């Protein structure tokens, strides 16, 4: 699927052609249109799921939750995106604001679409098990699972940007010396690999049949070797040349970096292996930013409550700010 092809179902393209999405973000191609489609799709999906949450209390609460749930994600993004962008700049990454926004919007789009896919399940338990505490915990678990899947997409996209050198450009521009070793090995022609074992022979002055078979005689390189034919005649042939110390096919004066020369059987030295790629600082900061995003989002959700609406209380657009989200979840679990 082409990265330039417009599609109203942007989530389908994200799931089916995620490599194309990453490449489009790397190239910064039509990011405004892509981000706009993701923003629209996410807002609609979150509004639908928010309506399911608020319907437990009343139709009026369903309407307000449909407005507040998209607002929750977008305000959290607006609060945390500058931190992600500046952290990457401080540690040498070359991400633009549009690239950072597009990456995070991919995660939010996946989260919102997966959450709205759970909406029929949430409605089923709303109808069959009319319990406020259970319904609240069920939907918190649905949102948490959806967010984890969305964040997996975010880390995958950042890893692709790292592979293209956008997170650690200094490491991407310097070729590793170890990569030259396999190329040199592949350049060895087949005849060199097929060099026969040293021939046990005798000097040309001595006939081959007069020498004991068990007495090998060393022959200098290029010296003539006596061979006997079937009719008894003695012929001479040049001895096979030894394998040179430099790689075959390379110039006579070619040299290799220390530790990366050709490995000879008698050297006893192993060929150096490439060091494992280190995780760039930007990737470590991404995980820290994800935790920050989660804390800001949960606290903002507590501030914008109610989303579900306690059936024992009257309708209210906002509740008074007291306590915190985590204490409320523990209290709800204890009351089940």
| Chain segment 302-312, per-residue pLDDT in tens | 888 888 877 77
- Separation CA 67–CA 311 (nearest Å): 20
At 167, is the pLDDT very low, low, confident or very high (cuts 50, 70, 90)?
low
- Separation CA 151–CA 148 (nearest Å): 5
Rounded to an integer, what is the distance from CA 242 to the centroid of its chain? Answer: 48
Predicted confidence at residue 202, as pLDDT, reads 42
Query: Domain coordinates of the chain in residue numbers?
Result: 10-168+281-335, 200-240
Predicted confidence at residue 8, as pLDDT, reads 57
For residues 242 and 68, which has the higher predicted lDDT (pLDDT)? 68
Taking only the tens place, the pLDDT of each residue in 236-266 is: 555 554 544 444 455 555 554 555 445 444 4
How far is the CA of 24 from the CAs of 4, 36, 99, 279, in angstroms? 9, 14, 9, 23
Q: Is the pLDDT of residue 173 over 60?
A: no
Q: Tokens in use for 74? A: 């977008």
Mean of per-residue pLDDT scores for the chain = 74
- Cα-flanking dihedrals φ and ψ of residue 225, to 5°? -120, 130
- Separation CA 323–CA 303 (nearest Å): 10
At 123, is the pLDDT very low, low, confident or very high (cuts 50, 70, 90)?
very high
- Separation CA 71–CA 60 (nearest Å): 17
Per-residue pLDDT, averaged over 283-310, amounts to 87
Taking only the tens place, the pLDDT of each residue in 190-223 is: 444 444 545 444 444 444 444 444 444 444 545 5
């Amino acid at each position: 699927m082409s990265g330039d092809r417009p599609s109203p179902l942007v989530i389908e393209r994200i799931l089916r052609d995620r490599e194309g999405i990453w490449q489009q973000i790397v190239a910064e191609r039509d990011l405004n249109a892509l981000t706009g489609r993701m923003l629209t799709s996410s807002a609609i999906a979150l509004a639908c799921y928010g309506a399911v949450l608020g319907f437990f209390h009343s139709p009026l609460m369903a309407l307000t939750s449909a407005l507040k749930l998209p607002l929750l994600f977008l305000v959290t993004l607006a609060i945390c995106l500058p931190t992600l962008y500046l952290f990457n700049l401080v540690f040498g990454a070359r991400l633009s604001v549009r690239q950072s926004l597009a990456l995070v919007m991919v995660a939010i789009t996946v989260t919102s679409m997966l959450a709205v896919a759970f909406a029929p399940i949430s409605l089923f338990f709303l109808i069959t098990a009319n319990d406020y505490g259970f319904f609240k915990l069920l939907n918190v678990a649905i949102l948490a699972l959806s967010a984890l899947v969305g964040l997996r997409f975010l880390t995958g996209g950042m890893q692709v940007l790292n592979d293209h050198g956008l997170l650690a450009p200094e490491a991407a521009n310097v070729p590793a010396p170890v990569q030259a070793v396999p190329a040199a090995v592949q350049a060895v022609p087949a005849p060199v690999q097929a060099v026969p074992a040293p021939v046990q022979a005798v000097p040309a002055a001595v006939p081959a049949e007069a020498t004991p078979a068990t007495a090998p005689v060393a022959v200098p390189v290029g010296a003539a070797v006596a061979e006997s034919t079937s009719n008894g005649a003695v012929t001479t042939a040049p001895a096979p040349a030894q394998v040179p110390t430099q790689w075959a096919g390379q110039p006579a004066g070619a040299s290799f970096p220390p530790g990366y020369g050709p490995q000879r059987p008698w050297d006893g030295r192993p060929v150096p292996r490439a060091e494992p790629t280190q995780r760039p600082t930007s990737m470590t900061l991404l995980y820290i930013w994800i935790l920050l995003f989660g804390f800001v989002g949960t606290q903002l959700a507590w501030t914008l409550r109610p989303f579900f609406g306690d059936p024992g209380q009257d309708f209210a657009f906002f509740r008074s700010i007291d306590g915190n989200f985590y204490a409320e979840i523990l209290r709800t679990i204890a009351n089940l």
